[in-house]
Every structure is written in C-alpha cells, then in structure tokens.
Structure 1
Amino acid sequence: MPRPLHLPELLSPAGNWECARAAVANGADAIFFGLPRFNARMRADNFTAEDLPELMKFLHSHGVKGYCAFNVLIFTTELADAETQLRELEAAGVDAVIVQDLGLARMVKTLTPGLRLHASTQMTITSPEGLELANTLGIDQAVLSRELSLRELERFQANDKPEVPLEVFVHGALCVAYSGQCLTSESLGRRSANRGECAQACRMPYEMIVDGELQDLGDKRYLLSPQDLAAVQEIPRLIELGIRSFKIEGRLKTPEYVAAVTRVYRKAIDAVLADKDLTEIITEEDRYELEMTFSRGLYTGWMHGVNHQELVGAYYGKKRGYYVGVVRSVARDAVELEENPTHLKNGDGIVFENLQDTNNEQGGRIYGQHENWIEFQHGRLRTDLIAPGTRIFKTGDQALEQRLRQTFQGEIPLRKKQPLNLIISGSAGQPMVIQVKGQEASATSTIPLAPALQRPLTLETLQNQLGRLGGTPFELGEIELRLEENLILPVSELNRMRRSIVESSCARQGVGEPSLRPAITTTVADMLRSCARQGVVPEDAHLSKAPTLHVLCRDQAQIEAALEANITHLYVDFEDVRQYADAVKYVKAHSAARIYLATPRIQKSGEAGIFKLISRAEPHGVLIRNLGAIAHFRDAGIPITGDFSLNVANPLTADFLKKTGLERLTISYDLNIDQVLNLLQGAPPEWFEITLHQHMPMFHMEHCAFAAFLSEGTDFTNCGRPCEKHKVRLRDRVGMEHPLKADVGCRNTLFNAVPQTGAQYFSGLMQTGLRHYRVELLEQTQEETLRIIRTYQSLLASQRGGEDIWRELKAQSQLGVTRGTMAEMAHSY
C-alpha cells in the first residue's frame, strides 16, 4: 500500500507505572493515563500530580507521548479544581488531555494552550457533522465512537481533511452502550459512568420477558455483554482510511495485558508500513497471547457493520481465556480430554465451563499431564461436578506472564533517536537561521550575527552547543554550514535556538517538552463571568412569570391525552419517524400547542435523511439529541432545544451550546439537586429546562436485543422486525423488569422500570427563576397519561406539594442520580 501521509500512532493504556513501562517497552508511541480525579476509570491505580514530571521525563526520553484522560463531566463547583489540574498537566509537559465535557474543552484552549485537546469517545462523535460541530472548540484529535464501521469511517474522509486527526479503538473491552450516553450506573446505583464510576451493569445476567412470558434462551444470560474488540487484521484498511491513532482499551488491565497487546499491534502496524502480508505476520501465537492476557472472546466489533448474532455471545460476562478442548471422561483428581491438548503445561490455570452459573465453576492449576489426561492437586477439584462434554478454557499461563514481565523489568533501552540534519546560514548584521532538513521546523536568532573579535563560530562550536539533545527524541545529525566566516552569536542565543528547533520538531510529531509560552492570566472565573446573569434581578421578578409544563409523548394516545389536559408545549418521540408528519398535522388541527419533534440520540453519516423527514413534517421546533443535528436544523431556521444527551453539566458547556443556536438546554441527568442549583446560579435560568418525571433511559446501544434473541437476523434487513411485534422487558438480578425500546435507527434503549420524580424540589427550582419543566411518558395509557399530567399541573399551580406527588406516583424520590465527588444529596425543598 502507499505510505500514509502521516505515520499512525499506537496508543496504549497505563493505569499505573508498571503499565506505562510495559507500553513503552513494547512499542507504544503514546500512552493515556488518569489522575485520581476527573477521569473515566476511577478504579484504576492512576497517577498523582507528583508523579507527572518523572512520568513525562521517562516517556519523552523514550520518544513516547503522554495523554491525560480528563474525560468526565465537570460540575460547576469543580471548575476551579479542574483549572488547577489543567495547569499542573501543562507545567509537567503532558502532551494532551482527552476531554468529554464541552466546557472543559473551552478551558483547555483558553487557559492552557500548551496542552493539545483530544475529544474523548465520551463526546459521542458518530458523524462528520458531529465532528464539525466539535471542531469549533479547536480540538487537535478526535476519538470516534466504537460503533462505527469501516464504511462509516470512510465517510469522514480523513485523508482529504487531515486538519483533525482521527483516533479509533482497535482492541479491548466493548461497552454495549454508546460512550457518554450510558446512564445505567446512575439510574440503578447512583454511580455515574460519565464520572468514571461505571458499575458494569452490562456484564450482569438478565432474563428476557416477551409479552409477559419468560423467553427460553437456553444458557444465554449475559444479554448485554459484548465480546472484546480485536481489530488487528483491520489495521491495513484503517491506515488506508487515514486513521492516525490506534487506541488500546484497558486502564484497569494488568501490565502483562498492556505488554502483550501493545507488542502485537506494534508488530501489525510495522508490518503494514513495510508492505508485508498481515495474515502471515500475525501468528496463532500472537492471538494466543491476546486471548490469554484478557478475553471475553475476540471479535471485530462493529468494524464490518452490525451483526446481532455475533457481537454478544451472551454466555458469560467476564474473562474466559484460551479454548483448550472438551472433557471426554473424569477420574479422581484428573480429567481426560477428547484430543491431545495444546498450549498446556504444569502450573497453567484452567476452568471448566459452567453456563448454568459462571460464578461457580470448577478449575485450578495443572499438577501433572499424561497423554490426554491432565491432573490436579489432590482434593482441588469436584470432578463429580464436571460432566463429559464440558468445555475447558485456559485462564493462566505463568511462563507467558513471566516472559511478558521480562520485557519491561529492568532498564528499558532508549529507542533509536531521530537525527536532526541542520542547515545553518547567515551573514554579518543579519540573523542566523537554522533549518531542519526535510521539515518545516526552523529557528531564527533574535539578534544579528556580529564580527568575532575572538572565538568565532565554528563547526565544532555549533556541534557542541546544538548537540545537547539529551532527554529529547532527537540526536544531532549532519550540519551544512552556509555561514560567513569569523562571526559570533552568544551561547545563550544558540541554546534558545536549539530549544526552539526541538520544540518545533516535537510539535510536528506530537511529542515534546513544555512549550515556551507567555503566562496566561485569564482564569476560569473570568470565563464564568460571561455566563452569569447580567444586572441585578429583583427578588419578585420571577414570581410574575408562570412555569411551563412540557410533555414528551411516545404514541398518539398520549398526544391526545396531553391535548385534553391543555398542554401547550409537546415533544414527540416516535420509533417510526414516518408518523411524525401525521402527529404534527393532528396537533395543529386540534390545538394551539407547539410541537417539537425529537431526533435520534445517535446520528451517523448517511442518516441525514431522518433530519430531512423531520423538517418536512413542519414542526414548530426540534428536540436535539446529538451534536450532528444542531447545524442542520439551525441553518434551516427551525427553533431547536437541546436534550439531556448533550450532557450540560456546567455554565461553560451551556454557554457554548447556547451560542450554537439552541434556545434552551435540558440539564444533564448526571446532576443532583445541589449541582442543578449551582448550575442555575452560574448561568441564566431562562437557558434551561429540567425533567421532573421520567423513566430514566439507561443503556442506549447499537446492539439490538430484539434481533439478537428473537430472530436469526444479523441486522434490520433480515431480522423480521420483532421490535414491532413484541413487548419486551429485561429482568435484572433483583427482579426488576426494565422496558426495552427500539428507535428509528434500530438502536435499543433500556429504560428503568421505576419512574423517578423531582417534584419535591420544585419550589426551590422556582426560586432560582427556572420556568421550564418536563414530564416524559413511556408506556402509559391515555388514562394514565392524563392522570400524570394533571398531577404535575397541580404542582406547577402550587395546588399540591412535591412530597404528596411522589408518594402517589410511587416514583423514586430523586432528581438526577449522582452524588459526585464533592457534593452529597443535601436538602430538599
């Protein structure tokens, strides 16, 4: 294949020092890591601020970049602490920060320009349109959603538009839900995935209830647990598409995992760049290492599009390891396999599969081997629980672990440094110019060359001063002198020019020392002032304006009930968007209510036709749920309101989104009441709307459980559309039955079985000046809809109290779900 315009980067995870060393020793071009706060893997060991200078010195001395994962939502009261951490990262020479929060992204560009800004996969960039909107923040690299196929990646035209390098995940755990759009941990346990506290509910067992009856799925229990991503064979195509960074997931994994996976993908990338056949380079032994260090089964994920029969195996949710074989017979402390086992030796750990209860499986280390028999320590196994036909997986290989550890223990050799070949020119009275051959990097002296009275500049002098490149990824190469004789320049100026050359060359490669920039005097407090209320608002000014109740309907009966209750502001969210036009006509014919149509939460390239269908329905406005939709409807002149999925958690994010043309913003569901109040104090309350009643949308996923378990189809073209024929719920371990719904893109949302209400906080919210409140319906009948709406109308009219309402509705008494790292659920109103 033609050599790519830009060499691809291999980006490895580092949850601790050993993992960082393992990544560097095995060929990573960059690592990503977190600090104890503000990262999406709070359970990792993580580094401390005190570690940063030593970490970056270690990385840069080996020619490796260091990116800090800063990929969580930032609450209003945390912005000052976030500013402090950003400045610490910049001062330590960290190369980039990986950011989810739009407001934090603005802070990076304004306060710490020495840091490159990478958009996290948590930003949910799924389309070129979404990337274009995110790019108005000035991002330097974008991590795209894992759910994109090679065909969809092609539409980003990375080779034709290289301004924003694109990064994709190529190996590791796959989240079943879209990153940045999973509210499951919050909804069930008040632990936010958007705050680094994912409880991995996707790896738990579920039962499927279809039309009220338990569906027999055999041994399939882990209905939402995808196999792990392994896209090593897709590296050639990804390089052809212009993808610049290949990311390995795993900040919670072992250093042995980091070593093995980094080694295999380094081997693959180098082979492709050398025009070698990857099918011959990546061996069965390589695949064995990938499976042994961690695997729930390896799969290409969404790289080749949706395949609902393969993505989720559904048999287990934890590490499985390398398949060994099948039991033929058992004896006391020994098991016979049907075939002579390979890859087995004494000391290896194995497990005997028990699909009835994967948390209660027999297993242990091999004590001896004889032909097809493997023996165990006396009394270690209950062989009476192991039946012929049981599958065996290898879970531990001490020899492999030792071999992998040897790669990063002891001194790690420095990589071969890149030579800097220089052209040095100049004449008396003119500045000296140093040009790096083959690069645009250059440096010009700030003072002119002068005649030398003694010790003129010589080749030896220049080699001595310019060759001091220790701690950089460079070494001095050849110097071509085009300099007049008998001239002089102060040594301090030569040193400054050397540093400038190194910085410029590093910047071209994305590796470097801290940039020499003037101090930034702007603070986050300065940024917040532009978001704050203008002028003094009289205390009773808000009392003169009545609150507005917005109701989101999901079928025609709910719309009719809402109109019967004289609701004036409707949102409509239908699975079949072809029914939108009829809904708009009905509302306009039967009322003066304003109707806004909801976009899908995810928009991919090629799905803009959905936007056109919404526009042609001629609604009064649109409820925007993804970044890619904003410009389309704004430019069409249609009023737009931002939904919760835009993740507004602080005034800086709100201010950015307001400037894109959104008339109002729905406050993120990650905020509890204290955090909501802090947001409303930091930005005009008229910007916002809050959801008082809803069934929390938990998982939002490309995986379609309807197709996977109620059909034999691989995608919407051959699944038979069971979502249109059946009412499905997923029953969790505690017996709660959560409704499952499909949307126009065949994406599934699992909703919490129990509604939540924030009615008890209503009076306090009113005192802030907030006037827009929402009720979201799910499966309520027309009669139930009418009762819920009238209940909240009585709340807004101050005829009933919030405490009374949540008891009547039997809803969870909460607003938002997350305590956060600084605030506790405090007072109620």
Structure 2
Amino acid sequence: MSKKIELLAPGGDTDSIKAAIAAGADAVYCGLDRFNARTRATNITLKDLNGILRLAHKHDCRIFLTLNIIVVESETKAFISLLHTLMQTSVDGIILQDLGMFYLVHKYFHSLKIHASTQLTTHNKGQIHFLKQLGATRVNVCRELNIEEVSELTHVAHANTLSTEMFVHGSYCLSFSGLCYISSVLKGKSGNRGRCSQPCRDRYLTTPQGKNFPLNLKDNSAFFNLREIVAAGVDSVKIEGRIKKFHYVYSVVRSWKEQINRFYRHGTLITDNTVLYKVFNREFSSSFLTGEINKNMFIDNPRDNSAIHLAETKGGATKDNIQAAKRELYDEKTQIIRCVQQKIATFSIEKEPLVITVSGTLGNLLKVDVQTPDTSFTLCSKSELVPANIDNADSRSSSRAIQKTPPYCLGYESFTKIFKPLNETGFYIDAIDLEHLQSNLFIPFKELHAIKKEIICILHGSEETITPPTVPVLIKQDNLPIRPTLSVVISSEKDVHLCGETTADVCFYIPNCLKGIQTRLVNMFIENKRLIPWFPSILIGKDYDDAVELLQQTQPERIVTNNSGIAYEAFTRGIEWIAGPHFNTVNSYSLLALKEVFNCAGAFVSNEINKDQIRYIKRADDLKLYYSIYHPIMLMTSRQCLLHQVIGCEKESVDEECISGCRKASSIKNVDNVPLFIEKTPGNLHSIYNNENYLNTDIVADMPNTFSSFSIDLRDITTKTRISADKLGTIKLFENLLTGKTAAAEMLARCIHPVTNDQYQRGI
C-alpha cells in the first residue's frame, strides 16, 4: 500500500494543539495572533511557538503555521520580520494565501516550506503549475471538487513534486474560499483577513420555500470516503476547526485516527460515526466529494445538531427526548474533557533547561558539550586555543569583551553574552560550566558565534545554519505621465457592437462553463479583434480545458483573468495578461510576483482596500495598475444551487444541464429587510450580489497619475441599482470623468443610483 496518509488537525489554542497530539495527529495547523485566517480563535503567541514545536516533534507530529491572509502594504515590514524569526525555528511549513508573501518566502526565505491555503481555491491543473512557480510545496484542493477532480489535481501535483491536502471534516463554506466578500461588504469584516462574520449562517426573512437559514450548509464529513481519498493519492486529510475547543479536537481527531489505522491495517473501514455526532455538528454531508450536489446538503438551523440527532436515534426529536439528549451529551462532554485534560496534563510547552559545559586547554580545540533533558551533543571550534592578549584580538572582538574578565579572554561573561540567543529557542540556559576550561585563553569570537548558531540549528532539528536574508526596500515608481484609459466589461453578445462605437477597451466575460457555446464564442473573438477575453475565477475540469482551448483557438493579444490557471497558460504562451480583481492584490510584493514570475502586464488592485491602503502600494516596473470604479458587487460564488432553499427547484441535484442552461434569479432579505440578489445565468455558477452596486468616482481625483486604466462592469446583473442612460451613454459619462470634464462625477451620481463605495472608505 502507498505511504500512509497524513492526518492534519486544527489547533486554535495550546490545549487544542495538545489534544490533537494526544489523539494521534500526524500534523497540526495553527495560527499566531497575527496574519492568520481565524482571528476568532484564541491562537498562540510567538513566545509559545518554540515550546509547541518541541512538544510536537517529540511526539512525531509536524506543525504548520497559518499565515493565510492577504497582507496590506503597511504590514509587509512586520511580516518580513516575522519570517526572519520563523527561519530560526523548526516550524515544518507555513500556509499562505497572499501572492506577495509567496514571492518573499520563495525568493528570500528558502528554508520555509510553503503550503497553499484553501483561500487560493485551487481547483484546476493550471493553478497547480501557477503555485509551483511561486514556490508552493503543497496545495489544498478546494472543498467543492468531486473525487475524480481531486484525483486529477493530485496526479498533476505529484508530477510537479507537490503534495496535496483536502478538508475531510468540519464546516462547509457555501462560497468558494478566497472569493467570498459577503462578510467584508455587509459587516466590514473580510474573510480574506480571517475576520469572517459568517453571514451565510444568519437568519433571513422566511423564503417562499419556508426556510429561515437559506444559505446554511451541513458540515463536511468524508469519514466513510477514506478508501476513495487514499486511492486518489491525496497526501493529507485535514480537519477544520481552529475555533473549536480541545475536547472537540480530540474526539474528531481520535475518530479519524482510528479510521485511518483500521484501513491501513485491515483494508476495512469503521462503519459507526456516532462519536462525530456527539460533538458540535450541523449534520453531515460529503456530497461535494461524491459529486451529488443536492438540496439535502442544506440544513435550516445553524446551531449544534448533536442533541437533535441523538434524540432521533431514541424515538424522535420530541422536546423531552431533546432535553434528555442534552443531559446525556453534557455528561459525556464533561467526561471527555476530564479524560483529555488528564492526557495532556504532562504535555508541557515550557522551556527546558540547557546545561552547557565548556572545556579546553592551550593548543587544543575548544569543546562545547550541550545537554538537554532528552539528548546531548558536542561541538568543537575550528581553531586552537591560544593565550589571551591584545594582539590576537580584532577590534570587533574587543567591542564585545566583557569587563569582568581580562581583555579578550574567554570567561563566564563572554559565554553568557554570546549564548544568550539560546534562551529564545524552546530552551533556556540553566548552567554554563567552565570548570574544565583553562584560564586566560582566547579564540576568535566569530567562532563562538558559529558554535552558537550550530547549537540553535541542532536544537531546532535543522541540517544547516541559516543566515537571515536581506530583503531589498521597494522604491515607489514615478507617477504616470498620461491620463488613465477606460475598459468596459460586458457578457452579452448583443453588446459586442460597443467595440466599434467607443475607444474604450471592451472585455467580454467568459462564463464558467463553455458547453454548447464555445464555437460561437471563438468565432465572436476572431471576428472582433478588439474584444478582450475576460476569464472568470472558477474553471473546473473540462470547463478549464475548454477555456484553454478557447485561448488556443483565438490567440488574443491580451486577456484579463481572475483565474490563476488561465494566467499560467497565458504566461507560457506569451499572451499579454492582466490579473483581475479577484487575485486579491493588496500589496507591492504581489505586483512584483506577478511581474517577475509570470511576466504579467498589469493587475487590478483589490476593491476591498481603502484609499490609504492603496496609496502606498508601489507599482512594479512596466506593470500597469487597474481598478474597477463601477460594478455589481459579487458577494459569493457557489457550486451549490442557491435557489433550492429560496424559490425551490424541480430537480433534487445539480447536473451539467443546470450549469449550462439554467436561467433563474431571486433574492433573500436579511432581518433588516435588506435584499441580496441571487443570479443564475446559462453557463455560470450561482452568485449572490449586493443590493447596491459599487461606484467610486473619488479615486480618479484622489490618485491622479497612479492607475493606467479604470474599469466599469456593464453586465446585465439585477440589483437595486438603476442606470438612466443606455450603455453607450454610460460609457461616455465615465470617459468624461477620466478626461476631467467638470461635473462628470455629479452627472454619474444622478445617472446611477443607489450605489455604495463603503469599501473604499473603510478598507480591511
């Protein structure tokens, strides 16, 4: 049988990490109190990290650190400082979302292994190649994929020396990860910053289907699908739950460990998942993985379902049975908590003592013996010890001399000062023994520093000492000498005529699925050379292959893409490409990564950030900056049917015809009676849009000579926003704005309403 699959557990706080280790996790992913996508978790401090690493490694468990948010410009210096610190630890890998941070780690911090976060929503083989170029060693395949799609991506990853992981238990997100802006727009809490307020779990006004929680999915559990996952070649199965308590982590990890062990020892699976129902759950489904995306994946209650499930097994979910079930579960939970507390009571992350013994005589090498509670090792100098005098010491050594010993002489004070950084590891210096060191001897202090570095290296389990890199300071480019141009996004063939009626660039939005329309689209692009293909964020399986084929057949001079897989294809084919707004670009290093690694011609700056966060971004050489100043605000995109719980559908499950042919629209209203608009058009996945479109004319005056082009989205997407002019008239109004015409902004405000630019004011 192939190499045993890794069990990857969540660790929201120290006790959860200990519980995961006690339950048999092969690896734990956890976050610091900054730069991670679970700010609601307790998280760990940098001070705790070395102790956690030592504890985990003692139990053959790896630690992956989550730094998986987009990082704004003002934070990059602190992020680089953190990377310097992490280089001096034994952390087994870091999980990243931000492309700029990928670039920094891959280029300067080579010792840190990069895992691509679920926030990058990796779902096609082009994205595997893209992430490989950025330095990833592992990718998380997105939760929406079925087992055949997972298998294909895993084989591509393995062919490129990458491993794969997949979530197999815990919360399902309704939206593709990294492409969900609903919390950011509605609550000012960005999911791309780890601050998601989970509006998809909120109560809404009762829908025509009688549902109060129409966006709420059951939890993910592939407990009975392990055989297929192993056959697909997946390297790691990942449990979600960094905001869960330690007893939850222990129970779920232990159940999965027993399942994995049973499979590898006997080739069979445990058929009872009762334990998983006794901790927090919203009922379970593995329908994305099995490819049966159906209405039964929803549950009209976001709270814990464990008591209801237990009551149903004991005669029905009556009020009395539910109360009895709650008492039973409480008693079991109390027992589990006590049991786990006993198991982890001896797990310490406190620093452990080091005893350092230094010995040596004149004419011989200096010996440094290091003893920890678990091991000991000896290091020697490269030079022989010589008599201490002023002639054999350089000026730099003399500046570090300790006053209590003769000048340039080895003594307790000098060793204490030079070895002080050992206290920043998972250890502390308990004693320095110089009893066997002959007095009045000298050795170049640089050799002592080399020995210190080697000690740190051994304590961290590293093979070689690491020199901290120097990251060059980025220089802000000069302002552009010309006015920005205008680009227009359309999605209807009836609007293609605009190419001949305006000087603006016209981009045609490619649907998620090209089934039945690919030939027509190819002919449209060939006949209209000015028309620029704009590729969507999600392109799965054959839909991705069809999009690549469209690229091959049309050979456009330029494209815009929100999909990194298509970006990789354009890069390898020498096609000029622009990174769309869903690349979530918010810092200078992301721009540098796109330009240096993929020869990107331009990139949209994310609409999530505010004017001050935009202002300090430094444009890379020969890279154009783009920004969308008008568009319907897409809150989320889902592979699930969003209409099942709202207006209903005669079909139980989503099939190919649903994606390629369905045209429906509806809305839901939150408890404040504010609508969100659901749209499903032929060839596209379900999406939810904000009630008001985004209009930001302020940025044109706020940042003159910064952007090469501003974009407006004139696709026919229904929201509350209304435009009084036709599309050509609307384009002319925006052209007037960019050419500095007086009152252009006021005219646009009168023509297009209601609108919002809250994100530009608020940021992330």
Asked if these proteins are the same fold (TM beyond 0.5), I'd say yes
1:216 to 190, 195, 208: 208
Give the Cα separation in 1 of the matches to 2:571 and 2:310: 59
2:255 counterpart of 1:264: yes
- Name 1:148's counterpart in structure 2: 145
Cα deviation, residue 299, structure 1: 1.0
- Name 1:791's counterpart in structure 2: 733
2:586 counterpart of 1:601: no
The C-alpha deviation readout for 1:21-47, integer Å capped at 9, x for no partner, is: 211111111111111211111111111
Count of residue correspondences: 658
Identity %: 21
- Name 1:277's counterpart in structure 2: 268
Counterparts of 1:281-360 in structure 2 under 5 Å?
A: 281-283=270-272, 287-313=273-299, 315-323=300-308, 341=315, 352=319
Give the Cα separation in 1 of the matches to 2:696 and 2:469: 41
Give the Cα separation in 1 of the matches to 2:213 and 2:140: 28
Kindly indicate whether the alpha-carbon contact (under 8 Å) linking 2:491 and 2:715 is maintained by their aligned counterparts in 1: yes
Counterparts of 1:383-532 in structure 2 under 5 Å?
A: 394=326, 397-410=329-342, 412=344, 513-514=461-462, 516-523=464-471, 525-526=472-473, 528=474, 532=476
TM-score (norm 1): 0.72
- Name 1:807's counterpart in structure 2: 749
Cα deviation, residue 517, structure 1: 2.0
Cα deviation, residue 630, structure 1: 1.9
1:82 to 70, 79, 84: 79
Give the Cα separation in 2 of the matches to 1:31 and 1:520: 26
2:159 counterpart of 1:161: yes
Kindly indicate whether the alpha-carbon contact (under 8 Å) linking 2:512 and 2:685 is maintained by their aligned counterparts in 1: no
- Name 2:63's counterpart in structure 1: 66
- Name 1:758's counterpart in structure 2: 696
- Name 1:134's counterpart in structure 2: 131
1:668 to 582, 601, 606: 606
Residues 226 and 515 of structure 1: CA distance in aligned 2, closer, same or farther (over 3 Å): farther
Kindly indicate whether the alpha-carbon contact (under 8 Å) linking 1:759 and 1:805 is maintained by their aligned counterparts in 2: no
Cα deviation, residue 603, structure 1: 2.2
Kindly indicate whether the alpha-carbon contact (under 8 Å) linking 2:30 and 2:242 is maintained by their aligned counterparts in 1: yes
Give the Cα separation in 2 of the matches to 1:308 and 1:782: 40
Residues 291 and 722 of structure 1: CA distance in aligned 2, closer, same or farther (over 3 Å): farther
The SS at the match of 1:310 is helix
Cα deviation, residue 610, structure 1: 2.8
Kindly indicate whether the alpha-carbon contact (under 8 Å) linking 1:187 and 1:817 is maintained by their aligned counterparts in 2: no
Cα deviation, residue 70, structure 1: 0.2
The SS at the match of 1:155 is helix
The C-alpha deviation readout for 1:529-567, integer Å capped at 9, x for no partner, is: 5xx53xxx4x7xx44x23211000122344445754553
Cα deviation, residue 403, structure 1: 2.7
Residues 795 and 168 of structure 1: CA distance in aligned 2, closer, same or farther (over 3 Å): same
One-letter amino acid matched to 2:608:
D
Kindly indicate whether the alpha-carbon contact (under 8 Å) linking 1:740 and 1:750 is maintained by their aligned counterparts in 2: yes
Cα deviation, residue 197, structure 1: 0.8
Larger mean Cα displacement after TM superposition, 569-578 or 181-190:
569-578
Kindly indicate whether the alpha-carbon contact (under 8 Å) linking 2:511 and 2:683 is maintained by their aligned counterparts in 1: no
Give the Cα separation in 2 of the matches to 1:57 and 1:588: 61
1:650 to 555, 575, 587: 587
Cα deviation, residue 568, structure 1: 3.9
Kindly indicate whether the alpha-carbon contact (under 8 Å) linking 1:706 and 1:723 is maintained by their aligned counterparts in 2: no
- Name 2:105's counterpart in structure 1: 108
2:180 counterpart of 1:194: no
Give the Cα separation in 2 of the matches to 1:623 and 1:75: 23
Counterparts of 1:573-652 in structure 2 under 5 Å?
A: 573-574=510-511, 577=514, 594-607=530-543, 608-617=545-554, 619-652=556-589
Give the Cα separation in 2 of the matches to 1:83 and 1:256: 35
The C-alpha deviation readout for 1:167-210, integer Å capped at 9, x for no partner, is: 111100011111111111112122110001111011124469xx
- Name 1:243's counterpart in structure 2: 234
Give the Cα separation in 2 of the matches to 1:787 and 1:611: 34
Residues 109 and 561 of structure 1: CA distance in aligned 2, closer, same or farther (over 3 Å): closer
The C-alpha deviation readout for 1:618-651, integer Å capped at 9, x for no partner, is: 5543221211112323344443222112222212
The C-alpha deviation readout for 1:63-87, integer Å capped at 9, x for no partner, is: 2221111000011121111112222
Give the Cα separation in 1 of the matches to 2:622 and 2:540: 32
Kindly indicate whether the alpha-carbon contact (under 8 Å) linking 1:202 and 1:224 is maintained by their aligned counterparts in 2: yes
Residues 517 and 561 of structure 1: CA distance in aligned 2, closer, same or farther (over 3 Å): same
Cα deviation, residue 739, structure 1: 3.0
More helix per residue: 2
Kindly indicate whether the alpha-carbon contact (under 8 Å) linking 2:8 and 2:236 is maintained by their aligned counterparts in 1: yes
The SS at the match of 1:409 is helix
Cα deviation, residue 580, structure 1: 6.8
The SS at the match of 1:72 is coil
Kindly indicate whether the alpha-carbon contact (under 8 Å) linking 1:757 and 1:815 is maintained by their aligned counterparts in 2: no
Kindly indicate whether the alpha-carbon contact (under 8 Å) linking 1:570 and 1:595 is maintained by their aligned counterparts in 2: yes
The SS at the match of 1:727 is strand
Give the Cα separation in 1 of the matches to 2:761 and 2:238: 29
One-letter amino acid matched to 2:627:
I
The SS at the match of 1:517 is coil
Kindly indicate whether the alpha-carbon contact (under 8 Å) linking 1:103 and 1:651 is maintained by their aligned counterparts in 2: yes
Give the Cα separation in 1 of the matches to 2:526 and 2:554: 11
Kindly indicate whether the alpha-carbon contact (under 8 Å) linking 1:554 and 1:778 is maintained by their aligned counterparts in 2: yes
Cα deviation, residue 503, structure 1: 8.3
Cα deviation, residue 716, structure 1: 2.3
Give the Cα separation in 2 of the matches to 1:739 and 1:305: 26
Cα deviation, residue 246, structure 1: 1.2
- Name 1:692's counterpart in structure 2: 629
The C-alpha deviation readout for 1:581-630, integer Å capped at 9, x for no partner, is: 656766886x8x72112223112233312331354355543221211112
The SS at the match of 2:136 is coil
Residues 573 and 236 of structure 1: CA distance in aligned 2, closer, same or farther (over 3 Å): closer
- Name 2:182's counterpart in structure 1: 184
- Name 2:361's counterpart in structure 1: none
- Name 1:374's counterpart in structure 2: none
The SS at the match of 1:185 is helix
Give the Cα separation in 1 of the matches to 2:77 and 2:159: 35
Give the Cα separation in 1 of the matches to 2:697 and 2:548: 34
TM-score (norm 2): 0.78
CA RMSD of aligned residues (A): 3.7
One-letter amino acid matched to 1:102:
L
Larger mean Cα displacement after TM superposition, 13-22 or 759-768:
759-768
Give the Cα separation in 2 of the matches to 1:32 and 1:790: 52
Cα deviation, residue 736, structure 1: 3.0
- Unaligned ranges ≥5, structure 2: 348-376, 383-424, 427-446, 718-722
Counterparts of 1:498-577 in structure 2 under 5 Å?
A: 513-514=461-462, 516-523=464-471, 525-526=472-473, 528=474, 532-533=476-477, 537=478, 542-543=480-481, 545-560=482-497, 563-574=500-511, 577=514
2:5 counterpart of 1:30: no
Kindly indicate whether the alpha-carbon contact (under 8 Å) linking 1:758 and 1:815 is maintained by their aligned counterparts in 2: no
- Unaligned ranges ≥5, structure 1: 209-214, 327-336, 343-349, 353-361, 367-392, 416-442, 449-470, 473-492, 507-511, 822-829
Give the Cα separation in 2 of the matches to 1:171 and 1:272: 17
- Name 2:407's counterpart in structure 1: none
One-letter amino acid matched to 2:98:
D
- Name 1:489's counterpart in structure 2: none
- Name 2:651's counterpart in structure 1: 712
